[in-house]
A = this chain, B = another copy of it.
Amino acid sequence: MIEDKIDELGFVLPTVPVPLAAYVPGVRTGNLIFTSGQLPMEAGVLKYKGKVGTEVGEEDAKHAAQIAVLNCLAVVKSILGNLDFIERVVKLNVFVNSDSKFGNQPEVANGASELLVKLFGEKGKHARAAVGVNILPRDASVEIEMIVEVK
């Protein structure tokens, strides 16, 4: 059970985040689920705000990426009922609120990618784009969206 593994690794699957606006947390089309962009929300609080490289350190940003991807999983669970119905994690897009000199977006995004592989094994190996941006909603340090294939 994936949710047991989340517990064993010391993480918490969040409750489904309420969208900041007029959209829904995720949509299923065929056997793909597209999640909305998720911020590092923990118990309703946005963690690790600010620009990575100056205001937020790389390790903290990596942790922010872990929290954001857990929110993606919470969205998938809200649609699918059970994370064990995930057939494959297909794609992550990781946006990092970055100082213009900070080029370690891959290391930050690894916070999310490594957690998925720990949880899902081979099924957790995904394609990924990691890019820097100059600002994110509410000055979040990281925003992640996910595509998964389901059974």
Query: A residues within 8 Å of B by Cβ?
Result: 19-27, 29-32, 34-37, 51, 88, 90-93, 95, 98-107, 109-110, 113-114, 117, 125-140, 143, 145, 147, 149
Contacts and interface: CB of A to CB of B under 8 A. Distances in A.
Given A90-B29, A126-B23, A127-B23, A135 B37 contact: no
Contacts of A34: 90-91, 127, 147
Contact of A24 (B26, B109, B127): B127
A132 B29 CA distance: 27
Given A21-B106, A129-B143, 5 more contacts: A21-B107, A21-B113, A24-B127, A29-B147, A132-B137
Give the number of times this chain occurs in the complex, counting copies. Answer: 3
A127 B26 contact: yes
A51 B113 CA distance: 27
